Amino acid sequence: MATKVQAGNSIIETIKTIVYALLIAGVFRTLFFQPFWIPSGSMKETLLIGDFLFVNKMAYGYSYASCPSVKLGRIGIDIDAEDICGFLDGDNTRLFGGTPERGDVVVFRHPVNNSDFIKRLIGLPGDKIQVKNGVVFINDQAVELKDAGDFEEIFERQGPQGRHPACETNTAVGEGGICKKSRQIEILPNGVEHAILNIGTQRWDDTGVYMVPEGHYFFMGDNRDNSTDSRVPQSLGGVGFVPYENLIGRADRIVFSSAGRSMLFFWTWRGDRFFKGIK
């Protein structure tokens, strides 16, 4: 009998340990840092497919979007942040709110489909934004650009989605060949410098004027011709303007990076990107 009681107590203690660990992890993820895996190439070369980072949630304070979402389709679990903290939604405010700065790389919730996106903050509340011939104008002033040669990568399937990268439109590339993109350094009005990539004239290289509403932000991907961002209206599947309360946090540093279709493929790890700062 004693053996059965001891075994029963051991199982109960194990369950308690697991529950406590999950609660601690949930609190840590909600208040401090959220892991994020880069699934697409919209932020190249700043962020590559397979980069793994932690998002600093303390940077901008907390809203309903700070609550974690738990999606495990294989076992039927689909718990959205709004299901947990939806009572905080609707007023576009934050607890201990911090002010995002132009040039920050930010993870946010899409205003319509609630997916997590990562882009660079280009437009602040009240800004006038327009893109002309691929150049960003902020409040009628063109951002400064400096040529920075070409960005090169292998033309092959990348990441879990297995998609090929987009290459310069005038270059024919076969499997395993060199895929090139034009690279420039973009200098924002506050002095933030970062690389942007282009592959030629595309639809969103010339836009109308965007007036960023109060309490909202305008985001763009660094890989300008391969990014669905605030240039694209929500009615066309884009991001549009992002409310303040939808910000999740700021991406400051890459922790780990794998060029393969799984992080377990150690031979594809990018050792030069471990703990690399994000600019």
Point out the residues that are catalytic.
42, 119
197, containing H or E segment? strand 193-198
Residue 75 and residue 41: Cα distance in Å, rounded? Answer: 29
Taking CA atoms, 55 is separated from 2, 130, 153, 158, 248, in Å, by 49, 29, 26, 23, 8
Number of Cβ within a 10 Å radius of residue 61: 18
Strand-pair partners of 271: none
Q: Give the distance, in angstroms, between the CA of residue 67 and the centroid of all CA atoms in the same chain.
A: 17
Sequence-distant (6+) residues with CB within 8 A of 174 are: 155
Taking CA atoms, 73 is separated from 68, 76, 240, in Å, by 16, 5, 28
209 touches 130 (CB < 8 A): yes
221 touches 180 (CB < 8 A): no
Residue 238 and residue 34: Cα distance in Å, rounded? Answer: 24
Strand-pair partners of 54: 35
Phi-psi region of 39 (alpha: psi -120 to 50; beta: other; left: phi over 0): alpha
